[in-house]
Structure formats: C-alpha cells, structure tokens
C-alpha cells in the first residue's frame, strides 16, 4: 500500500494518533478563552481530541488540557467543551459520506 503523508495528531485523551481531520481541535485563544475549533483555523494553541466524550473525560482526569495549555481549565470549560463535542460528533455522524 502506498503511504500518503496524512497529517496526524495525537488525541490528548486516549493518546491515539489519528488523521488530523478525524480529530476535534480544542484551541486556547490568545485571550485565554478555550473553545472547540470546528473550522480548524482559530488562532491560538491547539490540542486534539477524538470526537468522543470518553476522550474528553480521560483528558479531564489526566488534566491533559491544563498541561497542554499551561493554565487551569475550569469545570465549566469542560462542560462547554462536552456540549460542543457532542454537537461535533452529531455532525460527524450526519455528514458521513461514502
Ligand atoms: Zn481519543
């Protein structure tokens, strides 16, 4: 099989490397605001998660986001991320093409 260069990133929850487009980007804006970047173009420092609440939960347990962003991540941020992640997962499921 020919190996194409696909940019891959590691999920901060389950630590699995996956193609970048299969992951959800969490971004910390220069202002310190943390949100999910559905477009992949928000400025700031990024972390990647599988579109799965399990991985967000794992990341939370490990404080992976805190480590990645080098700042405390309040519980409400995790809640907002969980909501956005659920949306993203829904979209991913709906947008499945052959
Ligand atoms: Zn994961």
List domains and CATH numbers for the chain: 9-97 (3.30.1230.10)
Taking the centre of ligand 1 as the mean of its atom positions, its distance from the CA of residue 26, in whole angstroms, is 13
Angle made by CA atoms 41, 47, 52, in degrees to the nearest 5: 100
68 C-alpha to ligand 1 centroid (Å): 15
- The pLDDT value recorded for residue 98 is 53
57 CA from centroid of ligand 1 (Å): 10
pTM score:
0.81
Mean pLDDT of 30-58: 91
Q: How far is the CA of 36 from the centre of ligand 1 (A)?
A: 15
- Give the distance (Å) from ligand 1 centre to CA of residue 13: 5
| pLDDT score of 1 | 63
Instruction: Report how far residue 14's alpha carbon sits from residue 6's, in angstroms, rounded to the nearest whole number.
Output: 20
């Amino acid at each position: 099989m020919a190996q194409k260069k696909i940019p891959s990133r590691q999920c901060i929850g389950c630590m699995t490397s996956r193609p970048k487009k299969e992951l959800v980007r969490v971004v910390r804006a220069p202002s310190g605001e943390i949100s999910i970047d559905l477009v992949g173009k928000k400025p700031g420092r990024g972390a990647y998660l599988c579109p799965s609440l399990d991985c967000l939960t794992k990341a939370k347990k490990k404080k992976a986001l805190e480590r990645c962003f080098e700042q405390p991540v309040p519980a409400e941020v995790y809640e907002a991320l969980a909501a956005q992640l659920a949306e993203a997962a829904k979209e991913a499921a709906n947008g499945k093409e052959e």
